[in-house]
Chains A and B, each alone.
Chain A
Amino acid sequence: MIVAERKTVPELLDIIKTHQKLLVLGCGTCVTVCLAGGEREVSIISSALRMAVKLNKLSVDVEELTIERQCDNVFIEQAAEAIERNDAVLSLGCGAGVQAIAERYPEKPVYPGLNTTFLGILEERGVWTEKCAACGDCVLHNFGGICPVTRCAKHLLNGPCGGSREDRCEVRPDRECAWQLVYRRLKNIGQLDRLKKITPPKNWKTSLDGGYRTIIREDHRI
């Protein structure tokens, strides 16, 4: 799931202060699950903004709405009227949601209310951790399901680095060394021989090269 966190109230105020009518638009998917941009957070942020607006002697009317998914035109449609009657939109969706709304409404300013942070999981209540860097060329099968691209502080593909102490990471001693986790996991599943293979440099063409990535599925196109 996409994990995001709220921008601070002063940051948000600075973003929206020039508008008179603002729609705070939540998203019912990933950011609801990570407690950053769902219906409840829309209510909290709107309340906070209304108070901050009054304290700063500004004049911004704040309307609240949450749709099921901001990155999908079918659902954006449900917010059409609310978007039309407001001067600007503060989207509490992820970066994809913000851009989807902005593309759909070219004349309307659409601002991000969250900092979209990573692809991760809920580790325990209130704790999310990054698990996937969306590099576009998954290597998890080689490393027992532990991603060194994401979880090793140095992104090593042939680790460990030599700086780890016991099972602790050199960069962040409060964390386990990702390569210790890889070793333990491969040992448990009887695949330690995979570590004998030297992994060649990763081809980042699938990740950072040539701008944004697209996937085209001819079998699904109409």
Chain B
Amino acid sequence: MIAKPKPFEPRVLAFCCHYCAYASADLMGSMRIQYPPNIRIIRTPCTGRLEVEYYLKALEQGADGVLVAGCMEGGCHFIDGNLFAKRRVNHIRNMLEEIGLEKERLRMVNVSASMARPLADHITDMVETIRQLGPSPIRKNITANQSEIA
């Protein structure tokens, strides 16, 4: 019997700022808000801490999408880290187009620590966007043991 191919489940990496999105994700759990299990959260001290290589490496290693969740504009704990992140994300989105990848695979959103429901909506929307785009064409060429994103 031929096994039915599994439906595509996106694997999305989410870099969440400690001072907002990560706390929001915590609150999301406390409030029992449902969100897609396709997300892998990495806590970061500030989205401004994220080097652009991280986004590229994540996609190179097989992530279908990368979500960067920082504080509301004007509300960064380190004043303007999220604004730096915004510019860097835009820069890499343009680079993704040069590479031949859809720029929608990288997205930045802004939430505050109390915005659990909006964060769940952002995650759902990102996962759905990636679902529409399909698996990363980079991932197709990566064997299971090469991929660092399980």
Q: Which residues of A contact B (CB under 8 A)?
A: 8-10, 40, 43-44, 47-48, 50-52, 54-56
Q: Is the CB of A47 within 8 A of B100?
A: no
**Cβ-neighbour of B56 out of A8, A10, A48 (below 8 A):** A48
The answer to whether A51 and B98 touch (CB under 8 A), given A40-B51, A44-B53, is: no
Q: Are A8 and B98 in contact (CB under 8 A)?
A: yes
**Given the complex of chains A and B, what is the CA–CA distance between A40 and B56 in angstroms?**
12
Decide: B53 and A40 in contact? CB cutoff 8 A: yes
User: Cβ of A48: which chain B residues have Cβ within 8 Å of it?
Assistant: 56, 95, 98-99
By the criterion CB–CB under 8 Å, are B138 and A44 in contact?
Answer: no
Residues of chain B with a CB closer than 8 A to A52's CB: 98-100
- Is B46 part of the contact surface with A, judged by Cβ < 8 Å? no
Known contacts A9-B99, A51-B100, then 10 further A-B pairs from the complex at CB < 8 Å, ordered by chain A residue: A8-B98, A40-B51, A47-B53, A47-B56, A51-B60, A52-B98, A52-B99, A54-B137, A55-B99, A55-B138
The contact size tier of chain B is 10 to 19
Chain B binding surface SS class: helix
**Which among B51, B99, B100 has the greatest number of chain A C-beta atoms within 10 A?**
B99
- Given contacts A8-B98, A9-B98, A56-B100, whether A51 and B138 have CB atoms under 8 Å apart is yes
CA distance A8 to B98 in the complex (A): 7
Q: Which residues of B contact A54 (CB under 8 A)?
A: 137-138, 141
Known A-B contacts A47-B60, A50-B60; the reply to A55 vs B53 at CB < 8 A is no
Within 8 A of A (CB), among B45-95: 51-53, 56-57, 59-60, 95
Cβ–Cβ < 8 Å partners of A55 in chain B: 99-101, 137-138
Query: B residues within 8 A CB of A50?
Result: 60
Given the known interface contacts A9-B95, A52-B100, A55-B99, the answer about A43 and B138 at a Cβ–Cβ threshold of 8 Å is no
Please, how many angstroms separate the alpha-carbon atoms of A54 and B99 in the complex? 10
| With known contacts A52-B99, A55-B101, A47–B141 Cβ distance under 8 A | no
**Main SS class of interface, A:** helix
A10 — nearest CB in chain B belongs to which residue? B98
Q: Is the CB of A51 within 8 A of B99?
A: yes
Chain A residues with Cβ under 8 A from B60's Cβ? 47, 50-51
B117 to chain A, nearest CB (A): 34
A-B contact pairs, 22 of them (CB 8 A): A8-B98, A9-B95, A9-B98, A40-B53, A43-B53, A44-B53, A44-B56, A44-B95, A47-B56, A48-B56, A51-B56, A51-B59, A51-B60, A52-B99, A52-B100, A54-B137, A54-B138, A54-B141, A55-B100, A55-B137, A55-B138, A56-B100
- CB neighbours (8 Å) of A43 from chain B are 53
Chain B residue, CB-CB nearest to A48: B99
Distance (Å) between the CB of A86 and the closest chain B CB?
Answer: 19
Q: How far is the CA of A47 from the CA of B95 in the complex (A)?
A: 11
Residues of A within 8 A of B95 (CB): 9, 44, 48
Q: Could you tell me if A51 and B53 are in contact, using CB atoms closer than 8 angstroms? A: no
Inter-chain CA distance A51–B53, complex, in Å, is: 13
**Interface membership of chain B positions 96-112, coded 1 if the CB is closer than 8 angstroms to chain A and 0 otherwise:** 00111100000000000
B101 touches A51 (CB 8 A): yes
